[in-house]
């Protein structure tokens, strides 16, 4: 007889949410975690610490630059970096404790150690030289991802850092060189720029934020440049030499050519993440990987080994905490015999900078490539009353709708609070709603969300305030 109905390996947002949902459905569940704390990348070195530093550094910048014009007079703010790091740590601890509480509340056993799959129904858990084998009817792999490395550039997490080191620098670097203009580069670049660093971002492609709507990315780049970011697009870093005083980064055009050397105090390598399967024993157990090293799954999250499923960053799809969570819920429901499902067409993405960037569904580039006939409705925050009175008018809302049916296919927002505003678009799209549906939905005044309604009106060329 198996001891457990389900053993989940990894307690990131995918793993712990899966465990809770399975327990709600009456299963006897255990989670296995090799880290000292629960919560995975997201809680310990990802979403949560980065958002704490983004919030604190934004307040620092606001106090220095925005308070005076509103008639709030304060003396020039001083940075206490250890206190800011302590603020970040308190946020992490609070969230980790929250996951521990959820495990207890749902009577989920927490097995500390590295999980290895021995075969269907058997997981070995090893810690401190000791190991035990637990038996279970089902196994979910939720082991997440790790930083991607650049050949020839050694990360020491002091001067040449990944996101993990960049979340814990002991002093503000004078010059920060960021490799990769993706989400991490722009979020953590923003944190250190606000605290005083000169930030240069080197990006291989000829644009920032690949995958986001091109028009939004262009405007975002302009806004970031106004804030002080410098971008070197279409370029690659081919090596970083560390002298006792400085770092010398060699940069070449992406297509090859003459190299130049740029000096920096800290280099942040953030060129993506790779699935993490070390120590899981997948090959021996017979769990297949895809050509990109991700655990291969069928549409029901089942791997090639009976009774073993996989979710989150370790499988294909966007590496996002909410995608991992939704997959965790879906797989628990499938194991329980229900119809668990994730709609991959409606997964929002948010960049938590100032302003924020948010997006759901298709970009204009994707619609063009697919040959879909579409209409566009746009509305700028300069014409939104609430944004005007707050004097935060950067950005716009863009809605893409099917030209024939008016069904909303994509929504892209750049602006303050864009990350909160995107969700009405998500609900609309889950219900297959049209731009007309959105345009006829009453929105409270004065809110920034009225710009979403106006963009929907603009799809039918009848925005009121423009």
179 binds, among ligand FAD, ligand NAI, none (CB under 5 to 8 A by kind): ligand NAI
Q: CB nearest ligand NAI: which residue?
A: 182
Question: Whole-angstrom Cα distance, residue 102 to residue 91?
Answer: 17
- Measured over the CA atoms of residue 157, residue 160, residue 165 and residue 168, the dihedral's sign is positive
What residues have CB less than 8 Å from 289, skipping those under 6 apart? Answer: 277, 282, 295, 296
185 binds ligand FAD (CB under 6 A): no
When binding is defined by CB under 6 A, the residue of 122, 175, 250, 322 that contacts ligand FAD is 322
145 binds ligand FAD (CB under 6 A): yes
Helix or strand or coil: residue 414?
A: strand
380 binds ligand FAD (CB under 6 A): no
362 binds ligand NAI (CB under 6 A): no
Eight-state DSSP code of residue 238: E
Nearer Cβ to ligand NAI (227/304): 227
* Smallest distance, ligand NAI to C-beta of residue 6, A: 27
Cα torsion through 368, 369, 373, 376, rounded to 10? -30
Q: Which helix (H) or strand (E) holds 290?
A: none
Nearer Cβ to ligand NAI (236/453): 236
The alpha carbons of the chain give a radius of gyration, in whole angstroms, of: 24
Q: Which of residues 266-295 bind ligand FAD (CB under 6 A)?
A: 276, 279-280
Residues marked active site are found at: 445
13 binds ligand FAD (CB under 6 A): yes
Helix or strand or coil: residue 246?
A: coil
184 binds ligand FAD (CB under 6 A): yes
182 binds ligand NAI (CB under 6 A): yes
Please state, as a whole number, how many other Cβ atoms lie within 10 Å of the Cβ of residue 80: 11
* Smallest distance, ligand FAD to C-beta of residue 6, A: 15
User: Are 324 and 313 contacting, i.e. CB atoms less than 8 angstroms apart?
Assistant: yes
Eight-state DSSP code of residue 164: H
10 binds, among ligand NAI, ligand FAD, none (CB under 5 to 8 A by kind): ligand FAD
Q: What is the largest CA-CA distance in the chain?
A: 70
- 268 has which bridge partners? 161, 178
When binding is defined by CB under 6 A, the residue of 3, 24, 35, 66 that contacts ligand FAD is 35
* Smallest distance, ligand FAD to C-beta of residue 360, A: 13
Query: In the numeric block, which tokens belong to residue 54?
Result: 């983004």
Interface contacts to ligand FAD, rule CB under 6 A: 9-15, 32-35, 40-42, 46-47, 50, 114-115, 142-145, 163, 184, 276, 279-280, 312-313, 319-322, 324, 352
């Amino acid at each position: 007889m198996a001891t457990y109905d389900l053993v989940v390996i990894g307690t990131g947002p995918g793993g712990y949410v899966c465990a809770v949902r399975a327990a709600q459905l009456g299963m006897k569940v255990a989670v296995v975690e090799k880290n000292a704390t629960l919560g995975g990348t997201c809680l310990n070195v990802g979403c949560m610490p980065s958002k704490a530093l983004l919030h604190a550094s934004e307040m620092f910048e606001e106090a220095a630059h925005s308070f005076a014009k509103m008639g709030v007079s304060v003396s020039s703010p001083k940075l206490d970096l250890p206190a800011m790091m302590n603020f970040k740590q308190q946020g992490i601890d609070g969230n980790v404790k929250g996951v521990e509480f959820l495990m207890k509340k749902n009577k989920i056993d927490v097995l500390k150690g590295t999980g290895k799959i021995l075969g269907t129904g058997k997981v070995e858990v090893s810690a401190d030289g000791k190991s035990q084998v637990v038996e279970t009817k089902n196994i979910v792999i939720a082991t997440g991802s790790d930083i991607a490395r650049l050949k020839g550039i050694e990360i020491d997490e002091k001067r040449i850092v990944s996101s993990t080191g960049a979340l814990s620098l002991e002093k503000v670097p004078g010059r920060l060189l960021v490799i990769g203009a993706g989400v991490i580069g722009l979020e953590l670049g923003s944190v250190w720029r606000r605290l005083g660093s000169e930030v240069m971002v080197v990006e291989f492609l000829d644009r920032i934020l690949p995958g986001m709507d091109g028009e939004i990315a262009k405007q975002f780049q302009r806004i970031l440049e106004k804030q002080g970011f410098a971008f070197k697009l279409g370029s690659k870093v081919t090596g970083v030499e560390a002298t006792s005083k400085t770092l010398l980064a060699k940069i070449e055009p992406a297509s090859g050519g003459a190299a130049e050397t740029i000096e920096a105090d800290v280099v942040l390598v953030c060129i993506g993440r790779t699935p993490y399967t070390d120590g899981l024993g997948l090959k021996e157990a017979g769990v297949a990987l895809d050509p990109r090293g991700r655990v291969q799954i069928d549409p029901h999250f089942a791997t090639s080994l009976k009774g073993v499923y996989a979710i989150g960053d370790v499988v294909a799809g966007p590496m996002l905490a909410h995608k991992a969570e939704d997959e965790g819920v879906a797989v628990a429901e499938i194991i329980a015999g229900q119809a668990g499902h994730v709609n991959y067409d409606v997964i929002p993405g948010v960049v938590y900078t100032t302003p924020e960037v948010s997006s759901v569904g298709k970009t204009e580039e994707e619609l063009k490539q697919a040959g879909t006939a579409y209409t566009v409705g746009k509305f700028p925050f300069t014409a939104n009353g609430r944004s005007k009175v707050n004097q935060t008018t950067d950005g716009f809302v863009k809605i893409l709708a099917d030209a024939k049916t008016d069904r909303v296919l994509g929504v892209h927002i750049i602006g303050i609070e864009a990350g909160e505003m995107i969700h009405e678009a998500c609900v609309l799209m889950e219900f297959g709603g049209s731009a007309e549906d959105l345009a006829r939905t009453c929105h409270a005044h004065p809110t920034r969300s009225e710009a979403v309604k106006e963009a929907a009106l603009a799809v039918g060329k009848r925005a009121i305030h423009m």
